[in-house]
Structure 1
Amino acid sequence: MATQCRLLWCFLILLVLSNSVSSQTVVKTLPGFEGNLPFFLETGYIGVGEMDEIQLFYYFFKSERKPNEDPLVLWLPTGPGCSALSSILYENGPIRFNYKNSSIQDKPVLELNIYSWTKVANVIFLDAPVGSGFSYSTASSGYNTSDIKTVSNIYEFIRKWLLMHPEHMENQLVIGGESYSGIIAPAVVQKILEGNAAKEHPWLNIQTLVVGNPFTDVYYDINSRVKFADRVALISDDLYEQAKFHCHGEYVHPNRSNTACAAVLEMIHRCLEDLNAAMILENKCPAFSPRPKNIQWDLGSLGLNLTDSLFSEANPITYTGYCRKYNYLFASLWANDLAVQEALNVRNGTIEHWERCNKSIAYTRDIKSSLHYYKNFLSAKPLRVLVYSGDHDLIIPYVGTEEWIASLNMTISAGNHEWRPWYVDGQVAGYTEIYTKKEFRITYATVKGAGHTAPEYKPKQCYNMIERYLAHFFL
């Protein structure tokens, strides 16, 4: 009876929202993929803001297992300004590029991702903030956005989306994201908890937060790069000891008059500047910013002689054999194809050029740290958090993540919950530890050998991690 009343209430609200600018399309085929898609994909826009001037574009994949029972994950990409399509095609979505059979002279070929998170969850990939991916604003003022505005827009989006999809109202709601979404995702969870406490409708079944290599706090995250560099032998122990002594442990905003500290930090910078910070074991590539010409690449603009041999067969799934970032060329080539945009039902004329990461957004970073949200969660109703870190990431080192978790003064669970390895196929996939306080729990896990966007580097291990976690199994 309660479910029937809720569905009736949702129907009435939908009538009220009927004037809202929104659209949904079920996508059955995609250029580059042979035949019909073997999974359910819906794309669309939902208007948010005072006059629905901000149109947020999303991709919704139903769970390939039990969509009525499996969790509903709202996945937020890195950024601010990166498209959700990057997460779909390079990390945890159900399709990816087939590098072996693709070339930059022809249209990219797609294949299934056997480690897609959609095998165990319904997943909404959202282009947010406005200006990222295919999201746009009908008013120029809408493009002046910020952390706080983005959080408010995402909160409004998920409420409206669920009203339009009442069959998923009862699903466990998971808010997830990586990198800069470590600022946004916890703030969205806080907004949801406050809305539920104020009895706003609809009530959202929020239970879980998932963040990967999350930017959380400048002091812990960025300051930890020096300690991380020492741990993995990128700098000498002697240089690290000098930095601690002369800089007093402050590497982000040191005293400018401290010349000894400045000299040590300059030496450290020289040791690290030629590394690929996202994955310290891989090559650092020359920067490039290609633009498609009639859906063909101006190869001269790259300053490189790119040939099909670039995409080696040694590991065609995730690594080119030279520079991983050149794989991202395929995304721009594919997403800027008008046939692709038509298949996805992208509105004509709403964006000039799709970019994997739009760095021209007028964006204000007005949430300086998300650590206070976790402190608020300590007294919240039951809430689970999964924090995972690729352990070869210099951008947001695992060292700083461990330190801010420790600052919450939670209890490290005894027994099998203490620091220990977790396994995939009998091999160590990383290390994990569980922290608790009352009904709030943080599961922390490293992903061995992964970089900044862990599922991109270790898809099998990250799939096993999320499958076990969402099923309430220990890693």
Structure 2
Amino acid sequence: MANYISSVLKSLLLLLHLVFLIQQHVDSASIVKFLPGFEGSLPFELETGYIGIGEEEEVQLFYYFIKSERNPKEDPLLLWLSGGPGCSSISGLLFENGPLAMKLDVYNGTLPSLVPTTYSWTKTSSMIFLDQPVGTGFSYSRTQQYNKPSDSGEAKRIHEFLQKWLSKHQEFSSNPFYVAGDSYSGMVVPATVQEISKGNYQCCSPPINLQGYVLGNPITEHAIDYNYRIPFAHGMALISDELYESLKRVCKGEYVDPRDTECLKLVEEFSKCTKGVCQEVVIKPLCVTETPNCYIYRYLLTTYWVNDVNVRKALQINKESIGEWVRCYFGIPYTHDIKSSVPYHMNNSINGYRSLIYSGDHDLNVPFLATQAWVRSLNYSIIDNWRPWMIKDQIGGYTKTYANKMTFATVRGGGHTAEYKPYETYIMFHRWINGQPL
């Protein structure tokens, strides 16, 4: 009898614990109709919230969810991951492909303003902007007892996040689903796609309607990404013919951690030539955030805006989450355990998922030449050969389509992220997501 009572009590306690967790989930999502700095009510549907990850839900991942402005019942659902690792997804929302942007006014001590954009991907898709890994943006841990984030570990956490998010938003469970991101998320997105794909064939959880993924200037493999900086720099007239020929002859195409002393000297010469160049987009001036006439001044304005007490209140930020918000926390504890994401791309292709891989063609960090090289290494036949894609009568970039449902495209004049050419990138994405040729 005592054992029976004990068993019943345990069951009741477990039930109460589950009810408590469900209640926490319900309370953690909020509809946001007004944002400080934006005049009037928001012209789109915004939800913010936290999803608990792990057995004890010790990790709390923060997200911004914006419904498609076209037909949310049928339009695709995209998960957006910013790079870093450690860069808040606000980087995507306010700089790259969201419906709001910072107004570039000189900061005068008052709250910076927000303005609507004309290039939001939410015009045709619903989007979840996720702060990950833990410690990024407004995502935090309730305790110190959690696994240190890693590339492969994040793929599992993101998959868990999606399962829980979709269980709360079942009206989107049948929508075509895509994972998207840029920069360092090139290591995490392909692994996440594979993790979701595997999960769809396992028991106990409803399948996610995974259709494919989108990556911009993705970090893929350090040696490939770095080695192609030298030919890219030469093509952009950043180094001389003589230095380029010497580098090729002496280093034989391997420029990462050279052991040959002559090669090392030449690589150092290359570094001197490119030190004063803006790595993210070589045609922009190298400048500091605090300069009002500089493009990245918006990063400073965003920091002032996000750290305003009324903005945090509107976004329903848990007070226990973090102290000062930073756009990119580059010192985040993290294990880089995926050395190359190429095998993940291969597996995802074999499983039939669509992909759009695009490159701003003026990025020195991850040159388009590097991305082209690993795409070429997949050895798929070409369906649509290299050609310009147009916006009205202007060239938006160049594109090539492969038999594995992979489309590669450049964005002419673009940089390391979509923020440098947001309208052109939007046109490219809009066509691809709707199944149209670029």
The partner residue of 1:349 within 310, 316, 320 is: 320
1:105 deviation in Å?
2.4
Cα distance in 2 for partners of 1:145, 1:460 equals: 34
Unaligned runs of 5+ in 2: 1-16
1:433 paired residue among 400, 407, 410:
400
Partner of 2:300: 329
Write out aligned runs for 1:249-398 (5 A): 249-254=253-258, 256=259, 258-286=260-288, 310=292, 320=293, 323-380=294-351, 382-398=352-368
Against the structure 1 CA distance between its residues 104 and 126, is the aligned structure 2 distance closer, same or farther, given a 3 Å change threshold?
farther
2:370 counterpart residue number = 400
Task: Say which of 405, 416, 426 aligns to 1:463.
Answer: 426
Query: SS of the counterpart of 1:364?
Result: coil
Identity of aligned residues (%): 46
Q: Does 1:443 pair with 2:407?
A: yes
Q: How many residues align?
A: 419
Cα deviations across residues 394-452 of structure 1 (Å, max 9, x unaligned)? 00000000000000110011xxx11000011210000000011xxx3110000000110
Contact 1:65/1:120 (CA < 8 Å) preserved in 2? yes
Q: Which residue is 1:316 aligned to?
A: none
Partner SS state of residue 146, structure 2: helix
1:142 partner SS: coil
What is the root-mean-square deviation of aligned Cα atoms in Å?
A: 1.5
| C-alpha distance in structure 2 between counterparts of 1:18 and 1:407, whole Å | 50
Q: Quick check: 1:26–1:42 contact (8 Å CA) kept in 2?
A: yes
| CA distance, structure 1, for counterparts of residue 147 and residue 279 of structure 2 | 30
Give the drift of 1:154: 0.5
Please state how far the C-alpha of 1:248 moved relative to its aligned partner.
1.3
Matched-pair contact (CA < 8 Å) for 1:81–1:359: yes
Q: Deviations over 1:100-127 (max 9, x none)?
A: 4x63422111110111110010000000
| C-alpha deviation, 1:350, in angstroms | 1.6
Q: 1:143: Cα distance to partner?
A: 7.1
Letter in 2 for 1:460: Y
3-state SS of 1:339 partner: helix
The aligned runs of 1:8-407 (5 Å cut-off) are 19-20=21-22, 21-22=24-25, 23-100=28-105, 103-142=107-146, 144-254=148-258, 256=259, 258-286=260-288, 310=292, 320=293, 323-380=294-351, 382-407=352-377
- Structure 2 match to 1:5: none
* Residues 344-353 or 52-61, more deviating: 344-353
Equivalent position amino acid for 1:422 in 2: W
Q: Check whether the contact 1:143–1:361 (CA below 8 A) recurs between aligned residues.
A: no
**What do the CA deviations read for 1:56-104 (whole angstroms, capped 9, x no partner)?**
000000000000010000000111000011211111111111224x634
- 1:17 offset after TM fit, Å? 7.5
What is the CA–CA distance in structure 1 between the aligned matches of 2:313 and 2:147, rounded to whole Å?
Answer: 24
Q: Does structure 2 retain, via aligned residues, the 8 Å contact 1:24–1:42?
A: yes
Q: CA separation in 1, counterparts of 2:312 and 2:251?
A: 52
Matched position secondary structure for 2:129: strand
Question: Matches of 1:388 and 1:114 in 2, distance apart?
Answer: 20
Instruction: Give the 3 Å change call, closer, same or farther, for CA 25–194 of structure 1 in structure 2.
Output: same
1:418 aligned counterpart, secondary structure: strand
Distance (Å, rounded) in 2 between the aligned partners of 1:253 and 1:133: 33
Query: 3-state DSSP class of the match of 1:378?
Result: helix
In 2: Cα distance, 1:445 partner to 1:18 partner: 48
Answer whether contact 2:102 2:114 (CA < 8 A) is retained.
yes
AA in 1 matched with 2:354: R
CA shift for structure 1 position 376:
1.4
Aligned to 1:297: none
Contact map agreement 1:143 1:362 (CA 8 A) in 2: no
Alpha-carbon offset, residue 468 of structure 1: 0.4
Name the TM-score, length of structure 1 as normaliser.
0.86
Query: Residue 94 of structure 2 contacts residue 101 of structure 2 at CA under 8 Å; is this kept in 1?
Result: yes
Is 1:104–1:330's contact at 8 Å kept on the other side of the alignment? no
Verify: 1:473 aligned to 2:433, yes or no: no
Match of 1:420 in 2: 387
Gap change, CA 1:330 and 1:394, over 3 Å in 2: same
Structure 1: 5+ residue stretches without partners: 1-14, 289-301, 311-319
- In structure 2, what is the Cα distance between the partners aligned to 1:238 and 1:448? 28
Shift, 1:144, TM fit: 2.7
Q: Is the 8 A contact 1:225 1:394 kept in 2?
A: yes
Report the Cα distance in structure 1 between the residues aligned to 2:326 and 2:144, rounded to whole angstroms. Answer: 19
Cα displacement (A) at 1:186: 0.5
Residues 256-278 of structure 1 show CA distances to partners (whole Å, capped at 9, x for unaligned) of 2x221112111111110111100
Amino acid at match of 1:398: F
- Contact 2:93–2:100 under 8 Å retained in 1: yes
